[in-house]
Each structure stands twice: as C-alpha cells, then as structure tokens.
C-alpha cells in the first residue's frame, strides 16, 4: 500500500473516496482537511447523507478540475420502496399516503421505466440544496413554506430494474449530472400509481472513475504518512527591554 505525504497532498491529488452512510460530503472534506492539514481541498459532486459511494476529492492544483469532474455522467444503484411517499422523497422523512402495490408485475415496473429514459424535464425535490432568493429550498420546506421549483433538463441514459423483493425495487441508473435520483424514485412511483420513495442509493461511477477503485476513510488514513506533517515550532519568547 503506497504511502502519501502531506507535501503530495498539498501539491495536488485526485482521491476516490467511498463515502460512508450518514456522512455528509462536507464531513468527508472536514475529516481529510484535518488529517492532511491542508486548506485547498474540495469534492466534485455532493452525495446525500443517506447515500454511499463514489466521491471525488481534489487537493492542491487539482481543485481546478472540480467543475470538469462534476460535469461527468454518473452511475447509481439503489432501491425504490413502493406503496408510499415521503416529503423528502427518501428515508429522511416518514412515509405517508400508503397505497396498494401488490397487483404490480415485473412487466409493469419495466414499462414504468421507459418514460424516464432519454432527455427529460425533471423537477428537483423541495428538500434540496437549490437556492431561491438566497435561501436553500430545504430550509423553506422545513418552515412549511410552499416551494415551487421549475423543471430542469436532464438525460437518463439507462434506468433498469435489477431485482424485485416484494415492494422493494432494485435499480441501476446511468444519467447526466444534475439528475436527482430522489425525484426519479418519486416520479417512478407516481407513474405506477402507488407512490414510491428512495430507500437506498449508492453512486458507483463518475465518468470512468469507479467506486471499485475508491478508498474508505479508514484505508486512506492508513495510506497517509502522518509523520510527513512538519511540526509547528513554538514562537520564541518576546524580548524584554
């Protein structure tokens, strides 16, 4: 396992991180900033706390490539739970509006995927980090204020059902940047007439970068040579007289 030094981190690295469940993307950056003792660090595309998977982290000179990486197509796997909806379109809020789903066949699920493949207009979730009037819309939504977001053009290259377990539909999606998988899960449930919400999500690829090549936070910590950080020398005492 090749060790990395603080100087290498400061000069510039592209790191592939497998983001843990319940960590925010900002949590990952905060942890690595503290570990490497560097200021110039950022990530190329937010993952929600309840999602896991590939997070590209850039340090030093490679922070200039963040926008390039953010624009790359994405691949996700995950699970949509049918028969209810949630205000956040995922498990951050409680399911409501329960409806029967037992009548649905695999062919129904496959047919419901088709309208979402190709260039589409997608409405982002009301509980998202998009700003309206300088405020995050999730802040407005939590205050009970009505939030109206305009549809945005995105492209979904593939939306495939990979397995079905009762009302849990496992899927694979390949899509353009800017696609909200939470919205896709919600809209898929609406298409079926029974409702649905995202109950698991994992980002597996960004462009040609794969989560199979990513480090966990623990393995990256082991790869980092902490002894390479220069100790801070104490300031000399002030001269008197």
| Active site members | 48
SS3 83: coil
Which helix (H) or strand (E) segment holds residue 183: the answer is helix 181-192
Phi, psi (5° rounding) for residue 47?
-115, 135
Residues, the chain, total?
241
């Amino acid at each position: 396992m090749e060790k990395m030094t603080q100087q290498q981190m400061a000069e510039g690295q592209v790191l592939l991180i497998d983001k843990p469940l319940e960590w925010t993307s900002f949590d990952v950056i905060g942890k690595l900033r503290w570990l490497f003792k560097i200021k110039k660090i950022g990530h190329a595309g937010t993952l929600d706390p309840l999602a896991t998977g590939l997070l590209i982290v850039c340090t030093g000179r490679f922070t200039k490539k963040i926008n390039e990486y953010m624009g790359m197509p994405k691949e996700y796997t995950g699970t949509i739970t049918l028969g209810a909806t949630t205000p956040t379109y995922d498990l951050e809020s409680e399911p409501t509006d329960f409806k029967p789903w037992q009548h649905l066949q695999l062919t129904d699920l496959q047919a419901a995927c088709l309208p979402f493949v190709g260039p589409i207009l997608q409405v982002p979730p009301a509980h998202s980090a998009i700003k309206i009037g300088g405020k995050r819309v999730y802040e407005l939504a939590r205050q009970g204020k009505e939030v109206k977001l305009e549809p945005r053009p995105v492209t979904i290259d593939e939306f495939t059902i990979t397995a079905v377990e009762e009302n849990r539909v496992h899927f694979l999606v390949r899509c353009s940047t800017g696609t909200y998988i939470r919205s896709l899960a919600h809209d898929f449930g609406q298409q079926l007439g029974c409702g649905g919400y995202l109950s698991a999500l994992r980002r597996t690829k960004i462009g040609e970068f794969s989560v199979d090549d990513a480090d966990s936070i623990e393995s990256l910590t082991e790869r980092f040579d902490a002894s390479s950080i220069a100790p801070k020398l104490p300031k000399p005492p002030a001269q008197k007289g």
